[in-house]
Structure 1
Amino acid sequence: MKEAAKVLLPQEKEPRLIFFAGKGGVGKTSLSSVTAVYLAREDYKTLLLTTDPASHLEDVFEQEVKGEVTKVDGVDNLDIVKIDPKEVAEEYKENVLADAQEKNYSEEMLMGLKEELDSPCTEEMASFNKFIDYTEADEYEVIVFDTAPTGHTLRLLELPMNWEQQLEFKTSINTNTQADLESQKRFKRVIDKLQDKEQTTFAFVVYPETTPILEAHRAVEELETVDVETQLVIANQILPKEYCTTPYFKKRSKMQDEQLEVMEEKFSAPIIKMPLLAEEIQGLETLLEAGKELYTAKKTKLLNIEEE
């Protein structure tokens, strides 16, 4: 038995970034919430952050989730925040235009810059800048990300890798300002962090069904093209065998078993199973129950996935 691979725990001084990704509706919000609560109760200072406009974190925690960091009621060591793409885009535009005015851009240059800022990629760039702000904060040991559906998440994570192709206002001066150089260094730092398995964990949440499996597999392969490795796959809503006594549920359980075998073939990362609970994951009591189901089984002792 090799040494346990610590895929979710922070290493020394560096915070652990944990991304929950996957097809829309597979349970990313629920499982990222379960993980954040579990880690906070294990005495890790944790931030749960959502970049998904459709996230239902407010329903899960039964409290308002704002654009500013707030404490989670009833859970020590856990804060929560959401990145609203439209809100941060407006803030981003104001900062970029203010910087341009300080640099004495001409009226024509400012008009061109405003046109660039009206492009759809501005929201993604603004969200990523805000995301970097949190990753560079040193007050948390773990930051758990509840991400938007797969395609949006991949674009967000690939932004720094394609920095030279992103929003740049070309001037006649062919030199980089100090601010430009600092931005490049900042992006380089986050690229290094995303590609470092000791600092970042990508976990895909998957229903044991054909379409979610195929979409997650494609996303895993795309992340590999930018040297980002998937370290964990969670098979969600597995039917407990003891309740599969009718012909219908026996058939559904058999289908899940077959799809789990497909997952074993397609994913090299460890796969852990989250059983279907009798109740929706909502409120602290069910979050704690789900955490026990997901992270206290023998093969996930203290979140260390054992390797054969």
Structure 2
Amino acid sequence: MNINKKVVMFAGKGGVGKTTVSCAAAIHFASQGEKTLIISTDPAPSLSDIFEMKIGDSEKKIKENLYALELSSDEVLRMWRQKFGDEIYEVISSFVDAEYEIVDYVGTAPGIDEEFMLYYIHELARQEKYDRIIWDSAPMGHTLRLLKLPSQFIEHLNQAVKVYMKFNIKWGKRSIFDIIQSWKKLAEEIVEFLKNETTFVAVTIPEALSILQTERLVLELCENDLSIKKIVINNVIKDECCEFHKQRILMQKEYIKQIKEIKGKIQNIEIIEILSFPYEIKGLKRLKEVEKNLF
């Protein structure tokens, strides 16, 4: 798996081993001398379980060159409010009388936390604190919605500009138009960041539902001009040690064939198979075994 972009986003259906594969990739880049951060935006993060150490809202050193971060929804809201709260209030209060608590209400709107995470990772990449950022994303439904948010946000802001132009509203030191334009510029920067500095890795397993969702993910990424170069097939069985395994292998071969048909639709995409292990993957030692399959 040769990846040259700074931010690597792992995406896939829940339960396919996306976080495990993300952790193995992070270990690999760290072992290559790259200062690496793995960050989970999954609503139910499991980095702490896989690394077997407490990981929370502040960066935790796992080993040399490797750091991890699990952001809670409360921490995401706190950071969002700190960054955008005053501007949100300024815009809202220019139209209606409202207490500052309206900002907290806006913060609960669908997509706000996901939109902020895009901004947060965009800012992490710009700071150049890390050589590599591994992004363990939410399950695929969240991911597909997440990728559409910046473009949708730009559309909404264009409508907001029209409202401003109609009423010519001003408030405080800056016009509402200036604030909205700054948001629009940031959203456009995030779109370019996703296209130019981020690559996506789809993680799947050789089963029907996962294959269908993976194909949908890959096609939507391509339709949005986003880079996807790898599909990782997890939990592949090779050993025909019993009748159960023989039947599973026959089933998996059919689904692996379907995944390889996706490869025929997309140029320069690599298919990587990771074997099914007879034990749970937890801790650095076991993760290194996954890394060997991955790279």
Task: Report the TM-score when normalising by structure 1.
Answer: 0.81
Query: Is 2:20 aligned against 1:9?
Result: no
Alignment partner, residue 260 of structure 2? 264
- Partners of 1:7 and 1:232 within 8 A in 2: no
Match of 1:248 in 2: 244
The range that moved more, 60-69 or 100-109, is: 100-109
Equivalent position of 2:217 in the other structure: 219
Structure 1 residue 102: deviation in Å?
6.5
The one-letter amino acid of 2:119's match is N
Q: What is the aligned counterpart of 1:231 among 229, 232, 237? A: 229
Q: CA deviation at 1:226?
A: 1.7
User: Which SS does the other structure have where 1:195 is aligned?
Assistant: helix
Q: Return the offset for 1:33.
A: 0.1
Q: Secondary structure in 2 aligned to 1:80? A: strand
The structure 2 residue matched to 1:124, chosen from 98, 114, 117, is 114
Note closer, same or farther for the CA distance 1:193–1:123 as it changes in structure 2 (3 Å cut).
closer
Residue 291 of structure 1, CA deviation = 0.8
The reply on whether 1:96 has 2:119 as its aligned counterpart is no
Counterpart-to-counterpart distance in 2, 1:219 and 1:129: 22
Looking at secondary structure, tell me which structure has more helix per residue.
Answer: 2
Amino acid in the other structure paired with 1:8: I
Task: Describe the superposition over 1:235-280 as per-residue Cα deviations: whole angstroms up to 9, x where unpaired.
Answer: 1011133xx2211111111211121111111233210100112221
2:28 and 2:155 map into 1 onto residues whose CA distance is 39
* Residue in structure 2 matched with residue 35 of structure 1 by the alignment: 25
- In structure 2, what is the equivalent of residue 304 of structure 1? none
- What is the percent sequence identity of the aligned residues? 29
For residue 211 of structure 2, give the secondary structure of its aligned residue in structure 1.
helix
Cα distance change, pair 43–117 in 1 and its aligned pair in 2 (3 A): closer
Q: Which ranges of structure 2 fall in alignment gaps of 5 or more residues? A: 170-174
- The letter for the 2-side match of 1:211 is L
TM-superposed deviation, 1:59: 0.9
SS in 1 for 2:138: coil
Q: In terms of mean alpha carbon deviation, does 140-149 or 90-99 score higher?
A: 90-99
| Corresponding residue pairs, total | 279
Structure 1 counterpart SS, 2:13: coil
1:157-196 superposed matches below 5 A:
157-165=147-155, 172-173=167-168, 177-196=177-196
Equivalents in 1 of 2:83, 2:193: separation in Å? 26
Whole-angstrom distance in 2 between the partners of 1:78 and 1:45: 6
What is the Cα deviation at residue 100 of structure 1?
A: 5.2
- Residues 27 and 100 of structure 1: CA distance in aligned 2, closer, same or farther (over 3 Å): closer
Find the aligned partners of 2:128 and 2:220 in 1 and give their Cα distance. Answer: 30
Gaps of 5+ in 1: 1-5, 11-15, 296-308
Partner secondary structure for residue 135 of structure 1: helix
Aligned to 1:26: 16
Structure 1 partner of 2:138: 148
Name which of structure 1's ranges 268-277 and 165-174 shifts more when overlaid on structure 2. 165-174
2:7 is paired with a residue whose SS is strand
TM-score (norm 2): 0.84
> Residue 55 and residue 118 in structure 1: after superposition, are their counterparts in 2 closer, same or farther (change >3 A)?
closer
Greater alpha carbon shift after TM alignment, 102-111 vs 143-152: 102-111
Task: Kindly indicate whether the alpha-carbon contact (under 8 Å) linking 1:161 and 1:226 is maintained by their aligned counterparts in 2.
Answer: no
Match of 1:85 among 66, 69, 73: 73
Assess, with a 3 A threshold, how the Cα gap between structure 1 residues 211 and 173 changes in structure 2: closer, same or farther.
Answer: same
Map of 2:96 onto structure 1: 108
What is the alpha-carbon root mean square deviation over aligned residues? 2.7
Greater shift, 156-165 or 92-101, is seen at 92-101
Question: Aligned partners of 2:70, 2:259: CA distance in 1, in Å?
Answer: 31
- Determine the C-alpha separation between the residues in 2 that align with 1:160 and 1:221: 18
* 2:56 aligned partner: 66
1:76 equivalent to 2:72? Answer no
Indicate conservation of the 8 Å contact 1:47/1:140, yes or no: yes
